[in-house]
Structure 1
Amino acid sequence: MKPLLNTLFVNQDTAYLSLDGENIVVLKDDKILGRFPLHNFEQITTFGYIGASPALMKKCAEKNIALNFMTPEGRFMARVIGKTNGNVLLRKEQYRWSDSEDNSLNLAKCFIAGKLYNSKWVLERTKRDHPMRVAVDKLQKAIDHIQEQMQHILAAKDMDELRGIEGKAAVLYFSVFDDMILNQKENFFFKERNKRPPLDNMNCLLSFIYALLANDIASALEGVGLDSYVGFLHRDRPGRQSLAFDMMEEFRPILADRVAVTMVNRKKITENGFIQKENGAVLMTDDARKLVLEAWHTHKEEQITHPFLEEKIKWGLVPHVQAILLARCIRNDLDTYPPFLWK
């Protein structure tokens, strides 16, 4: 259990939420794990299938406290809200921001700044941790060029210019991605990013983890009442969760890419987990997907100090915190959106 930003996160998957007066009580096997005054929270998010008492749901609805139900893996299931809950106002403001070129550009700059910063630090960490096994000068050159692109972000006058900056930085980052792969090079190599379908084991692994990340972020956005289909950097397209893709940008290097590279380097996954079809497409076996899911959920349980909140939280809660911060920015409670900057 973790209170953050007027939100109570309950990550005990067998916990039951009940009401006692004006307090929420968290129970597990009839034992009280925690008791919190309801007036402290704007929303409650629980990760589990056990549920909450009807009395608590009624009280939350009366007090306009959103009650979110997620699976233990973080998939959004349902949301209990009151009649006068402000989510409709938040979404209307989100749509206005999306229609505004200036607001969309300002938010897009935050997402891209986070992506470039985190890409740079993933390379810095590789250079620091494996100085005898990587081409340090090559990595440093890419780091320096990514840093140069970061300095152009604020000056970008429109979305096309910003996308050009992001594209150049992505080419630099992926030009040294293969250098981070230290083991199983004959079966896990990276020449270029390819998808739909992926044409090698590494791209197949990345695509699967990117899908997991997109689902987690979409759930976090829905949990705070934002529309995950209406974005700012990624424009509207039927069936595409554009806002989830926006927020994914800052997390791709530090969550998805690091999990993929770590699994390969530690030989947690091997070439036996992949099948190449006649058309060249590479697919992952069911057993390999299970291994990736295990690694993904294990990583989400690890602790990180959030750079903006300066509090220790689990990696799995970071997208939820960022979604809250984004909602506060759109409501003008924050001057700007603070991207997650990892170091």
Structure 2
Amino acid sequence: MKTHLNTLFVTLDGTYLAKDGQAVVVRQDKQTKLRVPLHNLDGIMCFGRVSVSPSLMGACAAGGVSISFLTPYGKFLASVIGFSPGNVLLRRQQYRAADDDQLAASAARSIILGKLVNCRTVFRRAARDATDPHRIERLQATANRLGANIIDVKAASNLDRLRGLEGEAATSYFGAFNDLINTSDSAFEYTRRTKRPPKDPLNALLSFVYALLSHDARSACEAAGLDAAVGMLHRDRPGRPGMALDLMEEFRPFLADRLVLSLINRRQVSASGFEYLETGAVRMDDSTRKTILVAYQVRKQEPITHPFLGERTSVGLLIHLQARLMARWLRGDLETYPPFAWK
């Protein structure tokens, strides 16, 4: 079982990372700011102008510590990873399954079901905690619509049909997203999803946390021996990590969206922490970025019982467990891929 280790987030422009013995040294203006043993890390995420020495890249690749480079907005640029620990037989079976419409549809159905169950749970929990009767009614209505989507997905067997149903459910989910936001600050009002670049603070938060989740999903694929580029639900596209995106789907509502909603509803982030650029993009300041990174790490450390395995683990390890369950399904050890369904 993978040990829950830490991710080192580097956000300050001009930072240089180097190897010193078996540790990562973080330097700013030639001054050492931090020293972290490599064996305590499972990933390093570099935002903006951050440099990494070749010797550190080599040590991280050999030690299974992934390094991801992202823009200050959180858009993924590139990763440095070592050789995959997976065997060739697993990957060959993954490629066969991706080319088999029936097998790919089976996995895609499970992934979408897990995502929609978690979306519905988000609204059910919000309805349980709400006090305004009109808001409760709207939240319950959305949960019911998602429940109907779940029934349709269970009955679907065609990949295109499944993808269409997932899109319909996403429209229902984000169409009612404002009912999940409990603040009078109009800056966080949801209008529509914008990604490259995000055009408002809410989309900037969602895109940034999705980037963090994507890093973890890629790491989970590599650790389980899966090819992060070849998914079942997501079509192959150069540069797109299809399997990592597949694994992310179940965790978008449970981990990413809920984290963003908590930060907004608890007033841990404010509109003053975002800058509107001439290009129309919105960029968060360094303080807001650090608030998100700390909250994300804290959330990943929270204990939880895996609903399928019955094992006590942490939130951060759930995606690694799902990657291993995907590998077990591909090997034929499981009849279907069991998604993570939050209760």
Q: Fold match, TM over 0.5?
A: yes
Report the 3-state secondary structure (helix = DSSP H, G, I; strand = E; otherwise coil) of the residue aligned with 2:39. coil
In 1, are the aligned partners of 2:213 and 2:248 still within 8 Å (CA)?
A: yes
Looking at structure 2, the residues matched to 133 and 299 of structure 1 have their Cα atoms a distance apart, in angstroms, of: 30
Is there any run of 5+ residues in structure 1 with no aligned partner, and where?
1-6, 14-46, 53-66
Change in CA separation of 1:240 and 1:134 when aligned onto 2, cut-off 3 Å: farther
Looking at structure 2, the residues matched to 48 and 71 of structure 1 have their Cα atoms a distance apart, in angstroms, of: 14
Using the size of structure 2 for normalisation, the TM-score is 0.78
Q: Which residues of 2 match residues 25-104 of structure 1 at below 5 A?
A: 49-50=38-39, 69-70=64-65, 77-78=81-82, 81=85, 87-104=87-104
Looking at structure 2, the residues matched to 282 and 241 of structure 1 have their Cα atoms a distance apart, in angstroms, of: 25
Looking at structure 2, the residues matched to 51 and 298 of structure 1 have their Cα atoms a distance apart, in angstroms, of: 16
Looking at structure 1, the residues matched to 332 and 37 of structure 2 have their Cα atoms a distance apart, in angstroms, of: 32
How far did residue 68 of structure 1 move?
6.7
The yes-or-no answer on 1:298 pairing with 2:292 is no
How far did residue 48 of structure 1 move?
6.2
Per the alignment, residue 156 of structure 2 pairs with: 156
Show CA shifts across 1:62-119 (max 9, x none): xxxxx9734699x9854685xxxx6111001100111111111110001100111000
Looking at structure 1, the residues matched to 340 and 222 of structure 2 have their Cα atoms a distance apart, in angstroms, of: 19
Change in CA separation of 1:162 and 1:68 when aligned onto 2, cut-off 3 Å: farther
Per the alignment, residue 18 of structure 1 pairs with: none
Change in CA separation of 1:230 and 1:207 when aligned onto 2, cut-off 3 Å: same
RMSD, aligned α-carbons:
2.4
Amino acid at match of 1:146: L
Per the alignment, residue 272 of structure 2 pairs with: 272
Per the alignment, residue 40 of structure 1 pairs with: none
Looking at structure 2, the residues matched to 80 and 96 of structure 1 have their Cα atoms a distance apart, in angstroms, of: 19
Quick check: 289-298 or 134-143, which moved more? Answer: 134-143
Change in CA separation of 1:277 and 1:155 when aligned onto 2, cut-off 3 Å: same
Show CA shifts across 1:183-203 (max 9, x none): 253221112212112111101
Looking at structure 2, the residues matched to 248 and 217 of structure 1 have their Cα atoms a distance apart, in angstroms, of: 6
Residues paired across the two proteins, number: 285
How far did residue 49 of structure 1 move?
0.8
Per the alignment, residue 11 of structure 1 pairs with: 5
Per the alignment, residue 58 of structure 2 pairs with: none
Looking at structure 2, the residues matched to 48 and 101 of structure 1 have their Cα atoms a distance apart, in angstroms, of: 45
In 1, are the aligned partners of 2:66 and 2:219 still within 8 Å (CA)?
A: no
Amino acid at match of 1:318: L
Looking at structure 1, the residues matched to 210 and 5 of structure 2 have their Cα atoms a distance apart, in angstroms, of: 23
How far did residue 271 of structure 1 move?
1.2
How far did residue 51 of structure 1 move?
7.7
Percent of aligned pairs sharing the same letter: 43
Show CA shifts across 1:181-235 (max 9, x none): 1125322111221211211110110000011111101100111110000111111
How far did residue 132 of structure 1 move?
3.2
In 2, are the aligned partners of 1:230 and 1:236 still within 8 Å (CA)?
A: yes
Q: Which residues of 2 match residues 286-325 of structure 1 at below 5 A?
A: 286-325=286-325
Show CA shifts across 1:21-68 (max 9, x none): xxxxxxxxxxxxxxxxxxxxxxxxxx961389xxxxxxxxxxxxxx97
Per the alignment, residue 130 of structure 1 pairs with: 130
Report the 3-state secondary structure (helix = DSSP H, G, I; strand = E; otherwise coil) of the residue aligned with 2:64. strand
